[in-house]
Structure 1
Amino acid sequence: MCHKIRKGSLFHEWGNHSLEERWLLLGLHELEGIGRRTIQRIWSSDYRLHELLHFSERKWIEIGLSPAQARIAAQCYDEEWVHERYQRIQSSEIDVVTYVDEGYPSLMKETVDPPWVMYTKGDKSLLHTCSVAMVGTRVPTAYGRRAAEILTEELCSAGVTVVSGLAKGIDSICHETALRRGGNTIGVLGTAIDQIYPPQNASLFAEMVSKGLIVSEYPPGTKSHPGMFPQRNRIIAGLTKGTLVVEADARSGSLITADAALEANRDVFAVPGPITSPKSKGTLNLIKQGAKTVTEASDIIEEYEADLRSRQVSSYNRGQSLNLKKVSKTSESETSEEKHVVLLLEQGTMTLDELLDATAWDFGLLHAVLLSLIIKKRIAQLAGTKYKLI
């Protein structure tokens, strides 16, 4: 259904051709039944967007639209339609970033299937920061929650923008931690930008708009359906230099984001978890397949240190204070065995027998590692040969 509010010349009011093109693309993007692949066919044709105004059904069919799509396009796509789309955006608290804008993120543009239009709320400058995706299960264990918090804190301290999907579980934990630490974070929605899902994230959504950025490729008013969520994962991966899967079972949706990262030729990282935990099957499989193991944020930072430094120097040159933060390792003096025990105890207090089972070490090795960590005041021994982190 076309809703046109006025007559008049779009081009008479907008003399700047770049403005014309971005709003013409928005108008095309918001036509009912015209998806991103159809827009790709139109974009690949010999016609410029302004030439499509007032096309007949036959002309639309000639450039690749189905009869049903051509009927809608012929009825709706004209100057009045585009102007109505423009006015709706201008009168809302929503902004747009289109494929033809100079401010369209270069990383996203390098992917095989970039969104033509991204609807945003918040600080659009975050689209041009050094960013890493953090994703995982919607029902994390205590270990997964703590790992997400620690890694988010350290990444934000290093100046990395954390990108996730604003879903329950790991996504929300990462966003909340970034905001709490004063870091940068972007939430990519699997719904239209005027819908909050899940509803219990309403306060987090509002804080993200105020202190971070919300992004969606779906026009306001779009009805949600399950297929929209996997599609948003390609945007999470496309906006970032790499994707970190914090905790995921073998069939977790977060693995779709990892696949999208690989397709975009981006890095994939994974946090190892207990081999006895079903929630770690997905991440352990990723590591087997070649994902880089992450036990501390420096495992990620070292891949992008040069980019982070150049961005901070650029900020300094624009008159801001230079603050090149280094991510400290969990402890430079800890051995790999000690770090492994620390990760296990981050799940909670464990007995000696439980640690023996989890590590599969002999008693002598485990006893030596535990004693060393006690001396370093990293753990404490409780009654009943139980151990906890300090």
Structure 2
Amino acid sequence: MKTVRDALTVALAAVVPLASTPQVAMADCCGQTYRLECQTVYDEQQVTSYRMEQETVYDQVQVTRQVPVWETQQRERRFMVSKPVTETSTREERFTVMKPVYETQMRDASYDVVRTVAETSTREERFVVQKQVWETAEREEQFTVMRPVVETVQTQRRSTVMRPVTTMATQVVDQGCMVNQVTMFQPAPTRRGLTWMAASPTVDPTTGIAVVQRPGLVWANTTPPAQAVVQQVWKPNLVAQQVPVTTMVAQEVVEQVPVQVQRQVAETCVRKVPVQVCRTVNEEQIRQVPVTTYKQVVERVPQQVEVKVCKMVPEEHVRQIPVTTCKWVQEERVEKFDVRVCKMVAQQETIQQPRVVCKQVPVTQTIRVPRTIVMKVPIVEQPCCGG
């Protein structure tokens, strides 16, 4: 299929250059001028392509399956049962009871009373006070002042001046032209890119099932058809000419220029500055401060209080208590029950398993392949150079 598609592409592409093929004029040694014309000739060729066909084949396969078979079996189950046995008896219990006995007693409840007594007195207190005293004095201060002095000085200034100088120079000029060469066919390079692929049947290599490939763009190698190309070549014709050339030459010029220079002269000055000085003087002072003193005085107050006291006297008692005792006695029992058991039995069967087989059927087609022929057609007849 790919061979047929490529051949059809070449046939369609060959029709386009036929209308736009350039005509090239050529001349032989005798002065005869010819025109090149391109003609397309179609040759018939037999092309064999292969078509993919699918066929479903059924194979006889022996399959062994496990079939479940249910059976009912009778089994015995033994288990232990505990029965309660109750017994009643009497036991004697002795216990002690505490009885309260109240008595009246006298208790000393005397307490202390605290009173605060205030006393006032005077004491002498000495303290120091800081007082500020201001005094005025003079001090000398020296400082430096920078005064400007302007002077005129002659200096040399060098500058570069560009002056034009004209000279004659020999220059070679190419006065050639473009010349056409013989037409040739240039094959286009093979490129890899996106190509449209139509829907086609194919076989899945994993499952072996025939599937249809969806149409879409795929990455593939494509070869464009060959194109007729006319090459133009430059024919040189070198001619020498005298051309004036103007160049700029640098020349150095020296000039005397007056320049004013300013310099700073240092001058020392002295001045008197008044300064106020603050001194701190300590002064002792005396003052009378009243002081109040508080004293604690304790007084004893006697007091007797009647108190009832409770005492617990033990007393022993005896009583009869019935006691019930329960004992557990174990007894073995047997119970029958039915159980359904599943057994897997092997069973062989013959089944038909489908399988897809792909075949390639040859298909012969006749296509026409274009071929371009270049012919020389005379334009003007001229006598031969030898006649």
Shorter-chain TM band: under 0.3
- From the two aligned structures, give the one with the greater strand fraction: 2
Larger radius of gyration: 2
TM-score (norm: length of structure 1): 0.13
- From the two aligned structures, give the one with the greater helix fraction: 1
